[in-house]
Amino acid sequence: MSEATHAAPLRTAVIGVGYLGRFHAQKYAQIAGSKLVAVVDANAEACAKVAAELGTKAVPDYRELFGAVDAVSLAVPTPLHHAIGCELLKNGIDVLIEKPIATSVAEARELVDLARTHKRILQVGHLERFNPAVLAAAERLQTPRFVESHRLAPFKQRGTDVSVVLDLMIHDIDLIQELVGTPIEHIDAVGATVFSGEIDIVNARLRFQGGCVVNTTASRISLKQERKIRIFQDDAYLSVDMQQKILTVIRKKDAAPVESPAQVSIEEQNFDQGDALLAEIEAFLKAVRERSKPVVTGEDGLRALETAMKITALVQPKVS
């Protein structure tokens, strides 16, 4: 039996129960150490439906949560993250905020500063950090020399209120910066607006201190769906299929002569699909209960956003 089942359950809520927020609410409702006190949404009908589904209360205004909950997921549209997140932190509530952390670096920095000042847990929803294939690859990493990532998806209207950099690429930006572990020295990027009023496809080249070079592409106008990252280091080539949860590690065989580089060993690990969102929320509640550093900190979310905004500035159409 986990410690969470012995302690009083944390009082939890979800603000914003649209497509993603509804899944958050479902997880809080099923976790033993959590009591889902309420769900909040401006859409009264959608809110009532989720509340009825999960046996909790539908609340029209998030301010009603002040003093009534310990921790919340904030899954409202990104432009609302800053205003609501700041009020939650000031009122003593720990926050799991969906990615991206905010729409500007200044807003993100204020959220991080408020969390620190009020001694609140602030975790950012970069879900790939909980992908088992990614976690296994991280254990094999030494010094990455070249990284290539592709995050491709068919066009959908949802998410097109922001560029593909903030919608999709930011997942890989966070992951790559965490895996490489050194600051970025230089960024080049190119993008195009195809279907929406925002940039729909972007390629960025990042050069890190220490020499690692990253080539990352994000597209929401592709015919197929793909989430892959390939990492090259001095002793191995690692391929991570984040969608299928497969890690492939390719190395030169120890006994192979130098003149026969084709003699390689190929190791492939397949992981259960699992439930990354459940793992993310459980990690958040663990940090809340233990007052410990979350897996993806507010500072991590700020770092990813800073890079995303630099890339966005490079690919925005120039006004003549």
What's the start-to-end Cα distance of the chain, in Å?
64
In a domain, 10, yes or no: yes
- Are 255 and 294 in a shared domain? no
Residue identified by tokens 């491709």 is: 152
pTM for the model stands at 0.91
In a domain, 222, yes or no: yes
Count of domains in the chain?
2
pLDDT of the chain, 320 residues: tens digit per residue? 344 445 799 999 999 999 999 999 999 999 999 999 999 999 999 999 999 999 999 999 999 999 999 999 999 999 999 999 999 999 999 999 999 999 999 999 999 999 999 999 999 999 999 999 999 999 999 999 999 999 999 988 665 667 899 989 999 999 999 999 999 999 999 999 888 878 899 999 999 999 999 999 999 999 999 999 999 999 899 999 999 999 999 998 765 555 555 678 999 999 999 999 999 999 999 999 999 999 999 999 999 999 999 999 999 876 44
- Are 34 and 135 in a shared domain? no
- Are 194 and 215 in a shared domain? yes
Domain, as residue range, for 293: 3-128+276-298
- Are 198 and 231 in a shared domain? yes
pLDDT for residue 195: 83
Which conformational region is residue 47 in: left (phi greater than 0), alpha (psi within -120 to 50 degrees), or beta? Answer: alpha
CATH number for the domain including 239? 3.30.360.10
pLDDT for residue 1: 34
In terms of C-beta density within 10 A (0-12 exposed, 13-18 middle, 19 or more buried), how is residue 87 classed? Answer: middle
- Are 236 and 88 in a shared domain? no
- Are 311 and 185 in a shared domain? yes
- Are 161 and 266 in a shared domain? yes
CATH number for the domain including 83? 3.40.50.720
In a domain, 320, yes or no: no
Residue 121's φ and ψ, nearest 5 degrees, are: -80, 130
- Are 87 and 199 in a shared domain? no
- Are 164 and 311 in a shared domain? yes
CB pairs under 8 A, 24+ apart, for 152-157? Answer: 152/217, 152/218, 152/219, 152/222, 152/224, 152/225, 152/226, 152/227, 153/219, 153/220, 153/222, 153/225, 154/220, 154/221, 154/222, 154/223, 154/224, 154/225, 155/195, 155/196, 155/200, 155/220, 155/221, 156/220
In a domain, 38, yes or no: yes
> d(Cα 299, Cα 311) in Å, to the nearest integer?
19
pLDDT for residue 3: 43
The DSSP symbol for 262 reads: T
Residue identified by tokens 């609501």 is: 84
